[in-house]
A and B are shown apart, each in its own frame.
Chain A
Amino acid sequence: MSERRPGDDTLEAEGVERLRTALREDDAPGEPVDADLVWRAVRQELPAEERRAVIERVAADPAWAQAWRLAKAMSQAAAEAERGAPEVKAEVPAARVEAPAKVVPLTARRSWQGRQAMAAMAATVVVLVGAVVVVRQQQAQVDPTRIRGGTAEVIASRVPEATALPRERFELRWSGVPQAVSWSVQVSSEDLKVFHRAERLESREYTVPADVLAELPSGARVLWQVEARLPDGSVQRGSTFVNRVR
């Protein structure tokens, strides 16, 4: 066996990349995927033998392969997010931790006591910061009638939130983004399934066709979100608003 690295001449890097692209572009249907199993395999939460069994399915089935790629990408992103979210444990103030029972010189003891005081202060700061974060999170509880989804706050609903609109005239109106050249509206049901989308609207209002809403029971919540297309082609997405169908 030579010491050549994979891809030296068996399959050049460009060739491997072409195969990867082909696999990614292949949208052939596959067997139903056990998404949870794939995730746990990628995260190495399964024993090696079970991981290998999952990889066997990835080799044979395009849907499993796609799920693996997605799990890999999301798992790596989650790990990065975790690294950006350090755990702050405020269980026991450091000052209450018993010092090791050993004799130390007076100067060193003073220094140790100073460190204890610093640790106690640090613990207090941690608790205070934690309390502030908890309070801020509680203040930021999601309003059930308005789900923050987009980056922009400037698209505002002009339909009173959570009110019921007649099925025959489910008229959505909004304001904001004066520079928008066109609008899109996406409508979802309570189970989060997108069931209607209207593109290239020229005005800041849209009436959802009654037949689109026909299957929804009276009182069902309808989630809708507006996107503004800007002159440079970019899209500015608003929050998701909620109204009921009457």
Chain B
Amino acid sequence: MELRHGPWAGASPDAGLETLRRDLGRALASVCPASLADRRDDLLQVAMMKVVELRGRAPGRAELTPAYLYRVAYTTLIDELRRMGARKEVALEEVAEGPQQPVAPGDPERAAGAAQIARAVRDCLQGLVQDRRLAVTLHLQGHTVPEAAELLGWEAKRTENLIYRGLSALRACLSSKGIQP
């Protein structure tokens, strides 16, 4: 018999769920664009409902580790983000056809600027040699050098050099597109 308790499912039966809710909220706040700010609660709620439903169905709760529940919450969020993206595309088509005004949460100008820079970054990354591209991509995703090295399966020193050279090339490429990061 293997039991899991402690803070995850300890004093309060739902302590683990509250922790998950808090972590989900933080993850959404740090990952999602401002344009989705007004949908974060919806996303959070959908993911939590999925987890609660799963938990209620599970015959043996001991098997539902935090890693498993966090993964369920994550995949639910990805599904929901995909649905929202699809709905947004449909809404844009409707706007193009009629006079209805789109509701654009956040700062549209800022969003447009971010989109332009992000597109340029992706273009420039494609111009880098593969190893540099991979290393810089992880760096831009917020990974440290040791994390990136581990994920890529390379030596830390080599990864660090690839990031250094890759960032240099990226800067040059962005400058050629009129973007000064």
A66 to B13, CA, bound (A): 32
- Minimum C-beta distance from B91 to chain A (A): 12
User: Smallest distance from the beta carbon of B60 to chain A beta carbons, Å?
Assistant: 10
Contacts A16-B140, A72-B142, A142-B56 given; does A186 touch B167 at CB 8 Å: no
Give, as a whole number of angstroms, the nearest-CB distance from B112 to chain A: 10
Interface string of A7-42 (1 = CB under 8 A from B): 110110001101111111111110011011011011
A19, A29, A65: the one contacting B181 at CB < 8 Å is A19
- Looking at the assembled complex, report how far the CB atom of A140 sits from the nearest CB atom of chain B, in whole angstroms: 3
Q: Which of B82-97 contact A (CB under 8 A)?
A: 82, 85, 88-89
Interface size on A, residues (CB 8 A): 92
| Residues B1 and A15 in contact, CB atoms below 8 Å apart | no
Output the least CB separation between A114 and chain B (Å).
Answer: 27
Interface size on B, residues (CB 8 A): 95
Given contacts A6-B139, A81-B8, A84-B7, contact A73 B31 (CB under 8 A): yes
Check B5–A85 contact: CB distance below 8 A: yes
Tell me which residues across on chain B come within 8 A of A16, comparing CB atoms: 139-140, 167, 181
User: Do A71 and B74 touch across chains, with their CB atoms under 8 A apart?
Assistant: yes
- Which of chain A's residues has its CB closest to B27's CB? A73
When chains A and B are docked, how far (Å) is the Cα of A149 from the Cα of B53?
11
At the interface with chain B, which of A54-62, A161-169, A171-179? A54-62
Whether A27 lies near B75 (C-beta < 8 A) is no
Q: Are A134 and B8 in contact (CB under 8 A)?
A: no
Q: Is the interface of B mostly helix, strand, loop or mixed?
A: helix
Q: State whether B17 touches A148 (Cβ < 8 A).
A: yes
Interface residues of B (CB under 8 A from A): 1-10, 13-14, 16-20, 23-24, 26-28, 30-36, 41-42, 45-46, 48-50, 52-53, 55-56, 61, 65-67, 69-71, 73-75, 77-79, 81-82, 85, 88-89, 110-111, 113-115, 117-119, 121-122, 125-126, 130, 133-134, 137-143, 145, 150-153, 160-161, 163-165, 167-168, 170-171, 181
A107 at the interface (CB under 8 A from B): no
The chain A residue with its CB closest to the CB of B19 is A81
Which B residues are CB-close (under 8 A) to A6?
A: 139, 145, 160, 163-164, 167
- Interface pairs A-B: 3 shortest CB-CB: A48-B153, A140-B13, A26-B118
Knowing A20-B140, A65-B141, A72-B141 touch, does A85 contact B8 (C-beta < 8 A)? yes
With A51-B151, A58-B137 as contacts: A142 and B31 at CB distance below 8 Å: no
Interface residue A82 (Cβ < 8 Å from any Cβ of B) = yes
With A11-B167, A33-B82 given, is the CB distance from A23 to B118 under 8 Å?
yes
A227 surroundings in chain B (CB, below 8 A) = 41
A81–B20 CB distance below 8 A: yes
